[in-house]
Structure 1
């Protein structure tokens, strides 16, 4: 059985092929039971979350991710998300690979946003606003660059000094013009794509800030209590999600507007199944604002784990 470290997992999941692996998996589909979602108390800290996410394609592969989210870890300077993925043979049950789940999660999450942006962002989008300075930010920037010719990135974080340090570091690593911006309103107002990856419980992005024709990509919130954008952002936009089954039950950016009447179920235009299968055209004009909310899906983990395993197997010539 292969064991892929964080570095090996990253190297086995280049964003361009990963985006295409997700596109193929959404088009083809797979079996994906509702994920187990449990709240765990942590003494003297914010509650943590335990996730179990299985998925399989009959006769091919199956896998399960064990993940945890400890929001208070940020105070200690350690990652909030920890995870492990076990990929097995769908013909005989034999374990094939143990994949670093944190790296897999970060990269497939960013790739799902890039996949959505390929249908929802304007073709000439060049300016990206990245809201958040955590692990996902670098992945999201790099992933969005695979589907659009991004020339400038404005990076915003609650701690401006940290945002400045991250901007300088990422500019060097990614070879991009990345600028720390102290005002979130200003950063949002001059961007074509706004990608938000935080653990916020209160809306950060105000709908009145959104410029005409922009694409809003909400990534961080994964429970009904978490919010990254307000109701005005919803009411001004055409709304899309990664999966209707997940986002319309678990994402506060969707469930709260549904509960208060700002959003009706039929207002959710499509999910990634429908976009990749051509059942919805996605963006229909250069002036409309598009809104994409993801909560993650086991399908994405399976697609990424299969790609990581097959890439590593080919590289290492493992039987």
Structure 2
């Protein structure tokens, strides 16, 4: 059995290759049971933590794989200068069940989450999108910036974070890694969003950070951070103005606060969610329908994405 580190994953993957692999996975037969959620109260008063178990296995002909991700989510870790998410991924043979590898699940999650958003952007963002606003400066942010730049001709990226220092640190770290892209720190979030072609949010906000009234015609809003029904990164105006899409209906209609909360209050209905990534990748929905259409993609993650990413890493080892 191989141990595959975060550095190994970063050295083996590219964002464009993983976007392609995810697209293929959403067209393939992969079994994905509902993930297990286990809440972990914190005695020190920190926000409640969560343990996630996410299994999946290939169901079509060919070499078979089984994978399970074990994830801990500790929102209070920011105060400790630690990542909010830790994880391990176990990849096994689908024929024998023998373990093949243990992968760094934190790195794998960052890659697959960002590339799932980029996969959605292939169908939902304008083809001429050049301005990207990144809301949040955590571990996901650099991956989201690079992944969107891999599928759209991004030329300007503005990073906003509640801590300007963290936003500046991210911008400094990315300089020189994206040729032809100008990176800046946004002081005025509303002003930056009003100019943006793509807006990505990767925060742990429980109340809206981005208003739908700020979105210009043709904008694409990419919501990644909220992972429970009580978390919101955008407001009701956004879900009312935009054409709505999710990664999976199973997750989006049950776990995504930006979708679940307005449905519960009658602001929108389930029928307003036009498609998920299965529909987009299999050609059942065309995606963006007009240049001035506002689109919104809500991601909560699925074990299918983890398995696809782990399989790509495993196969890349043999090259």
Q: TM-score range by the shorter chain?
A: over 0.9
1:186 and 1:168 mapped to 2: Cα distance? 22
> How many residues get paired?
314
2:44 pairs with 1:39: no
2:265 and 2:47 mapped to 1: Cα distance? 27
Partner deviation per Cα, 1:120-153 (whole Å, 9 max, x = no partner): 0000000000000000000000000110010000
What TM-score, normalized to structure 1?
0.97
* Shift, 1:154, TM fit: 0.6
Matches within 5 A, 1:184-203: 184-203=189-208
2:305 and 2:108 mapped to 1: Cα distance? 9
What TM-score, normalized to structure 2?
0.97
1:223 and 1:69 mapped to 2: Cα distance? 12
1:23 and 1:103 mapped to 2: Cα distance? 20
Q: Residue 118 of structure 1 aligns with which residue?
A: 122
* Shift, 1:94, TM fit: 1.1
Matches within 5 A, 1:1-319: 1-44=1-44, 45-58=46-59, 60-175=64-179, 176-314=181-319
Match of 2:132, SS state, is strand
CA RMSD of aligned residues (A): 0.9
2:112 and 2:165 mapped to 1: Cα distance? 28
Match of 2:203, SS state, is coil
2:74 and 2:318 mapped to 1: Cα distance? 33
* Shift, 1:29, TM fit: 3.0
1:174 and 1:149 mapped to 2: Cα distance? 11
Match of 1:300, SS state, is helix
Partner deviation per Cα, 1:246-285 (whole Å, 9 max, x = no partner): 1100010000010111111111000000000000000000
Q: Residue 317 of structure 1 aligns with which residue?
A: none
Match of 1:19, SS state, is helix
2:22 and 2:78 mapped to 1: Cα distance? 29
2:169 and 2:113 mapped to 1: Cα distance? 24
* Shift, 1:165, TM fit: 2.4
* Shift, 1:291, TM fit: 0.4
1:22 and 1:218 mapped to 2: Cα distance? 18
**Contiguous gaps of at least 5 residues in structure 2:** none
